Chains A and B, each alone.
Chain A
Amino acid sequence: MTQLKPGEVSLGTTIMAVQFNGGVVIGADSRTTTGSYIANRVTDKLTKVHDRIYCCRSGSAADTQAVADVVAYHLELYTAQHGEEPTVKVAASLFQQICYQNKNNLSAGIIVAGWDKVDGTSVYEIPLGGSIHKQNFALGGSGSVYIYGYCDKTFRPNMTKEECVEFVRSSVSLAMTRDGSSGGVIRLAVITEDNVERIFVPGNQLPPQYLG
């Protein structure tokens, strides 16, 4: 596994994905850093790889963009070749193949989430080494370490969509406050069978919390 090269842009980051009945909510902060300089404070780390399959990217910005592009290409080809939409499992598997086979050259922590007609909603986490973990909710990025306790305490299976959105909003907000590499605005996406709804939370509308 490589460290980021000097001058390389990092998605410091807090990312998470949470499943609910009928869909999945994914969320991320918006900070990209080069060292300690904030190169982009309004980044979109929620990347579409297929109509109802999104990934959350953390680690090296270049590495994750490149890998996501390759997977998006393969998923488009899959639809043409198989005559049906790929499942989230297939997408996660593709991510995993690339991340594992190139583990010595990549610095990419990815969460894949979405809806398909075979399994319904799924959330898969692919951390640095290229292992794959199917979970009810997944956290990633440097900021995630600050919110494991909060998330373990707050998450319940079978929450409603509104409860999930609030859960992701408050968790990412807490991480953004404590992690230097996370910050800016919160971007959320709610993926259901019918559509993908994008939600934007500006920096001055974060949920209230104790601020020292």
Chain B
Amino acid sequence: MTIDTDFEKVFPITERTYIGLAGLATDVKTLHDRLRMRVNLYKHREERVIEPNTFANLVSHMLYEHRFGSYFVQPVIAGLNKNDQPFICSMDTIGCIDLGGNFIVSGTAAENLYGTCESLWEPDLEPEELFETISQALLNAVDRDAMSGWGAVVRIITPSGIITRDLKSRMD
């Protein structure tokens, strides 16, 4: 049963790092709140913003704390580090970090996404080209999954800023 059709599951952590949380909605909300607190505490103690790589380790640690009784979420993290290098990774429900390669996928349509990403991704894409690639990969994978869909949001993180676009998709 579709009960919410505009449930946000991608959250900004810093200006240049985002986390996507796929899975049980209550755990998505709880984890987001807890991570926000830990990141704010980090900022106060370290007097600087957290790097994506460090943030990934923070998430991993938090998930493993609940090794036997885990959160039902599979996070995806993407961001730019202080040298403007891109960082992406995903995790399983108990915090194993997958640094992957060129792309990272998660969610009920993960297998479909592996297929579409593997075929469509190529190196050295410009931001606008990357936007096209990720949009097609997402939309076509999600259209073959009964549990995903009802619209999509794509964000491209560049050194000069974030480009956010809502995609029109099948509503079934």
A residues apposed to B, CB below 8 Å: 12, 29, 31, 33, 36-38, 41, 146, 176-184, 203, 211-212
> Which residue on chain A has the smallest CB distance to residue B3?
A178
- With a cutoff of 8 Å between Cβ atoms, the chain A residues found around residue B143 in the complex are 38, 41
> Which residue on chain A has the smallest CB distance to residue B145?
A36
B residues apposed to A, CB below 8 Å: 1-2, 4-6, 108, 111-112, 143-147, 150-151, 170-172
- With a cutoff of 8 Å between Cβ atoms, the chain B residues found around residue A146 in the complex are 1
- With a cutoff of 8 Å between Cβ atoms, the chain B residues found around residue A203 in the complex are 170, 172
> Which residue on chain A has the smallest CB distance to residue B147?
A36
Let me know if A212 and B6 touch, CB within 8 A: yes
Instruction: Among B4, B151, B172, point to the contact of A182 (Cβ < 8 A).
Output: B172
- Chain B binding site: helix, strand, loop or mixed by DSSP? loop
Ranked 3 nearest A-B pairs via Cβ: A183-B172, A212-B5, A180-B146
**A and B contact pairs by CB, cutoff 8 A, 6 listed:** A38-B143, A41-B143, A177-B172, A178-B1, A180-B1, A183-B170
* Given A176-B172, A183-B170; A37-B145 close (CB under 8 Å): yes
Instruction: Among A31, A178, A184, point to the contact of B2 (Cβ < 8 A).
Output: A178
Bound-state CA distance A146–B172 (Å) is 13
Interface core residue of A41, A176, A180, A184 (most chain B CB under 10 Å) = A180
